[in-house]
Amino acid sequence: MQMKCILMMGTFDSKGKEFEYLYRELLRREVKILTMDTGIFEPEIQFEISVTSDEVAGAAGERICHLREKQDRGYAMKIMCQGAKSICRQLYRENKINGVISMGGGGGTSIAASAMQALPIGFPKVCVTTLASGDTREYVGTKDIVLYPSIVDLCGINRFSRQIISRAAGAVCGMAQMDPQEEREEKPVVFLSMFGNSTPCVEQCVKLLEKDYSPLVFHATGGGGRTMEELIREGYCNACLDITTTEWADELCGGILSAGPERLDGPAAAGIPHVIVPGCLDMVNFGSSQTVPEKYRKAGRLFYEWNPMVTLMRTNRQENEKLGEILAQKANASKAPTAFLFPLKGLSILDGRGEVFCDWETDEVLFQAIERNLKKEIPVYRVDANINDPEFSKRCVEVLKSIME
C-alpha cells in the first residue's frame, strides 16, 4: 500500500509545542507529512516547514513582512484564510495530500476551517479546536469537517491534550489509509429535502424512486439545505424533488433553521429539473420557548412545542403571501423544467385535518401567491391530499419523471 501523505497546517508561531507533538504522533503512524505555517510571526519549532507563512500570504497576493508591519489582526486573518484555502486546493488537485489536520483556538480554527472547506466531501479533514461546541456552522460550512473538541485549551502538552492530539492524529491517518470502495453509479441521482413533518412523504417518494433512480435525502434544517444547494451546483445530481422548502419560512421570519437567501437557486444554476413543494411552510422554527422573539409572543401567534428544544410558530397570511412571491421568483429564474405541487389538505403533519396548525385557508393564500407570480409555462398541480398521504407522494414522483424525460 502506498504511503499516505497528511497535511499538517496551523499557526506554528503560537502553537509550536502542540504541533511538534502532533508531528511526532503522525510520524509514529508511518505517514508522509507536509507542513504549512499559517501563523504571522517566526515560529520556534523542531520540524521542517514545507509551505512557509510567506508562501501562504503570497498565495493571497501579500507578503508576510507587510502583515507583520501592518499589525492588523483582522486583515492578516483574511489574507491567511485566502492563502491557505488556495494552497490546500492546489495540493489536492496535484494529488499531493491524502488528508489534512490542524489545531487551534479562534484564529487558528478560522484559518484551518476556511482552507478545509475548499476540499471535496469525502477527503479526510480533522481540526482539534476549542470551538467544537456551540454554533459551528461558520467553521463546518457544507463540508464534512470533523471538529475534535480539545477539552482543555491548546496551551502546552498535558495529560489531556496528549490524549486528544494523539487520537486526532490516529483519526486522520485512519481516514486516509483506507479509501472507500468506489461503486459505479449508473442510475440518475435525485436529491430530496425532508423534515420531521414531511418524513412520511419523502420516505414514500424514496421507495417509488429507488428502482430506477438513486435518491439522496437532505434534512432541511439550514445546513442540510445549504449542502444540497452546493452539491447541486457542483453537478452531483440529475434532478431535485424539493418536498420541504420550510427553510424559507425561517429565512423570512428569523427562525433558527434558515438555509440563506440562495435556497432554491441551485437547480436553476445547474440547469436540472426541479419539482417544488411548499412543504412545511406552515411553520417557523425557534429554540426553546424562551428563545421565541418577543414581537411574536406579544402578537399572540400560535406556537407548538415540538420538543423541549424546538418551538414551532404557525405562519400567517402575510408571511404566506411573501413566501409565495419568493418561491415563484426562484422558479421563474430557471430555464430547466420546473413544476409545483400543492397538497390541499395540509403542508405538514401539524397542518393535517384537526391538527394544531391546520389552517387551509392560510395555505391557499400561499398557493395563490405562487400562482399569481409564476410564469405561465411552469405547471402547477393541485393534489387533494395531505403532504404525507401516499397519493401525494405518488403524484410528486410522476411529475418528476415526466419533466425528466
117-161 pLDDT tens trace: 999 999 999 999 998 877 788 888 889 999 999 988 888 899 899
- How do the domains of the chain map onto residue ranges? 5-177, 189-404
Confidence of residue 1 (pLDDT cuts 50, 70, 90): low
> Is pLDDT of 184 > 80?
no
> What is the DSSP pairing of strand 5-10 with strand 99-104?
parallel
Q: In whole angstroms, how far apart are CA 212 and each of 147, 190, 344?
A: 37, 10, 29
Sheet holding 125-129, edge to edge: 32-37, 5-10, 99-104, 125-129, 146-149
- In CATH terms, are 5-177 and 189-404 the same topology? yes
Neighbour tally for 243: CB within 10 Å: 30
Measured distance CA(17)–CA(316) in Å, rounded: 57
Mark out the alpha helices in 218-291 (DSSP H runs): 223-233, 247-253, 266-270
Kindly state the average pLDDT of the residues 335-341: 97
> Which three three-digit cell numbers place residue 342?
400543492
Whether the model clears a pTM of 0.75, i.e. scores above it, the answer is yes
Residue pair 49/22 in contact (Cβ under 8 Å)? The answer is no
Measured distance CA(63)–CA(394) in Å, rounded: 60
Where do the DSSP E strands lie in 19-80? 32-37
> Is pLDDT of 308 > 90?
no
Confidence of residue 274 (pLDDT cuts 50, 70, 90): very high
> Which three three-digit cell numbers place residue 325?
412571491
Which contacts qualify for 352-355: CB closer than 8 Å, 24 or more apart?
A: 352/386, 352/388, 353/386
Place of cell 385535518: 353
DSSP 303-335: EEEEETTEEEEE--HHHHHHHHHHHHHHHHT--
- pLDDT for 183: 66
pLDDT digits (tens, 9 = 90+) for 50-61: 999 999 999 999
pLDDT digits (tens, 9 = 90+) for 241-265: 999 999 999 999 999 999 999 999 9
> Is pLDDT of 185 > 80?
no
Q: Measure CA 249 to chain center.
A: 18
- pLDDT for 226: 93
State what percent of residues in the chain have pLDDT above 70: 99
pLDDT digits (tens, 9 = 90+) for 11-58: 999 999 999 999 999 999 999 999 999 999 999 899 999 999 999 999
- pLDDT for 377: 96
Confidence of residue 178 (pLDDT cuts 50, 70, 90): confident
More confident residue, 345 or 44: 345
189-404: which CATH number, 3.40.50.300, 3.40.50.170, 2.60.40.1930, 3.40.50.12030?
3.40.50.12030
What fold is seen in the domain 5-177?
Rossmann fold (3.40.50)
pLDDT digits (tens, 9 = 90+) for 365-389: 999 999 999 999 999 999 999 999 9
Measured distance CA(166)–CA(213) in Å, rounded: 42
More confident residue, 170 or 105: 170
